[in-house]
A = this chain, B = another copy of it.
Amino acid sequence: MLNISEIRKQFPILSRKVNKTDLVYFDNGATTQKPQTVIDAVNNYYKDENSNVHRGVHFLSGLATDKFEETRDAIQQFIGAKHKHEIIFTKGTTDAINLVANGFRSLLNKGDEVIISELEHHSNIVPWQMCCDFTGATLKVIPLLDDGSLDMITFKKLLSENTKLVSVAHVSNALGTINPIEEIISNAHKVGAKVMIDGAQAASHIPLDMQKLGADLYCFSAHKMYGPTGVGVLYGTDKMLNALPPYQGGGEMIKEVSFEKTTYACLPHKFEAGTPNIAGVIAFKNAIEFITGLGVENIAKYEDELLQYATAEILKIEGVKIYGTAKHKSGIISFNIEGLHPYDIGMIVDKMGVAIRTGHHCTQPIMNKFNVPGTARISVAVYNTKEEIDVCINAINKAKMMLS
């Protein structure tokens, strides 16, 4: 059992006031808050350790490099990767997907097919549109069923020997759907396709084991898992990453540079050109430790309790409709109230200290599917409580009263 009030104490922002009332933060799908250990790690880095990494022979450079690489080790362990060099640091999930989609420009040809789904975040749509535009490959889309789950029957029909890559979210940021990625991976592998999983909404909510899962590529963002902004991870199997050409050119990613011929460094450096977000990467380790300290299974279980409770409470609101009612869901609830615009709801509950997200959540195809301009979205993290859900529901009811 998690001690939530102890956990809350580790997050300084949770005791701040917003509009003179206590902050109730339910915008965790956009970004989570940070525990003191993560904040301290950034602080200590700049106060005591700051130096550029790799290549330097002086003390601080060695220190920063060691700590930077310790985070790589921590991530390897956290996601059960086979090799340390399978962990690539990026700016975030978007950067990671673009790195891969750019690499697939040299692996795809006209006639090849890439499969994504209707519930993807724009970050897992646009790069593939650009890649297919470029290569002449065709983009196929797994449709959504009305409950917000993927139409797996159609998926299987879409698969063929032309399928070269399937890229889908582990968890939908707009609907909360947990996709059956094991099934997707095994089916895709049967036809020889590679699989990339966008784990932005999964990595601090669902236990991960890359070797068991068997995905060729998996990525996530630190800022959505209690870590700093500007850091992401691309995991790829040794084999897959070696098959991808380098993305950005620059320092650190080369073996030798001359104007005649440049040769590239090995993994992971091949994909890490330029000075990285050193402070962010180092502090990310503390976020991982925060998560593993609680146990991802425990977090998942607690968040599911919150999800069930919040769902039940929201359904009591007259005229409410929840988008995304699949059997396997993570702690995300998207909803609308008949006759009200989500923007108006968001504006009013904000005045009562409640932070929810409203809009299309960078998933316009989902909005089109459900024929709404946007939704209001509650997304939970481990520090949220049932009491906060009550405050939130009260605020929504008040907004509804004011707006009707």
Does A359 contact B55, Cβ atoms closer than 8 Å?
yes
The residue from B27, B58, B125 contacting A58, defined by CB atoms under 8 A apart = B27
Q: Which of B25, B30, B129, B250 contacts A127 (CB 8 A)?
A: B250
Contacts A46-B39, A58-B27, A364-B258 given: A248-B355 contact, CB under 8 Å? no
How many residues on chain A are close to B (CB under 8 Å)? Answer: 90
Q: Are B275 and A94 in contact (CB under 8 A)?
A: yes
Interface string of A255-273 (1 = CB under 8 A from B): 0111100100000000001
CB atoms of B365 and A257 under 8 A apart: yes
Q: Please, what's the 1-or-0 string for A230-241, where 1 marks a CB less than 8 Å from any CB in chain B?
A: 110000000000
Decide: A50 near B33, CB < 8 A? Known: A248-B94, A359-B55: yes
Query: Most chain-B Cβ atoms within 10 A of its Cβ — which of A248, A257, A258, A275?
Result: A275
Report if A19 contacts B (CB, 8 A): yes
Q: Flag if A18 contacts B262 (CB, 8 Å).
A: no
Task: Pick out which of these stretches binds chain B: A144-152, A325-333, A342-350, A396-404.
Answer: A342-350
Partner of A276, one of B61, B229, B276: B229
Name the B residues within 8 Å of A19 (CB-CB). Answer: 59
Given contacts A51-B27, A230-B91, A259-B139, contact A57 B346 (CB under 8 A): yes
- Please tell me if A356 contacts chain B, counting CB pairs below 8 Å: yes
The answer, yes or no, to whether A95 is at the interface (CB within 8 Å) is yes
Stretch from A277-285, A288-296, A303-311 contacting the other chain: A277-285
Name the B residues within 8 Å of A16 (CB-CB): 48
B91 near A91: Cβ-Cβ < 8 Å: yes
Given A38-B46, A42-B46, check contact A355 B230 (CB 8 Å): no
Q: When the two chains form the complex, which single residue of B27, B34, B125, B252 contacts A56, counting CB atoms closer than 8 Å? A: B27
Chain A interface, >50% SS class: mixed
CA distance A30 to B223 in the complex (A): 26
Residues in A22-72 with C-beta less than 8 Å from chain B: 23, 25, 27, 30-31, 33-34, 38-39, 42-43, 46-52, 55-61
Q: Assuming the A-B contacts A43-B43, A346-B57, A355-B60, are A129 and B262 also in contact, with contact meaning beta carbons closer than 8 angstroms in the complex?
A: yes
Contacts of A123 in B (CB 8 A): 249-251, 273-274
Contacts of A50 in B (CB 8 A): 13, 31, 33-34, 229
CA of A359 to CA of B251 in the docked complex: distance in angstroms?
13
19 residue pairs from A and B, CB less than 8 Å apart:
A27-B52, A27-B60, A39-B46, A50-B229, A57-B350, A58-B357, A91-B95, A91-B277, A92-B275, A94-B251, A94-B274, A123-B274, A125-B262, A139-B259, A141-B259, A221-B275, A230-B279, A251-B362, A252-B362
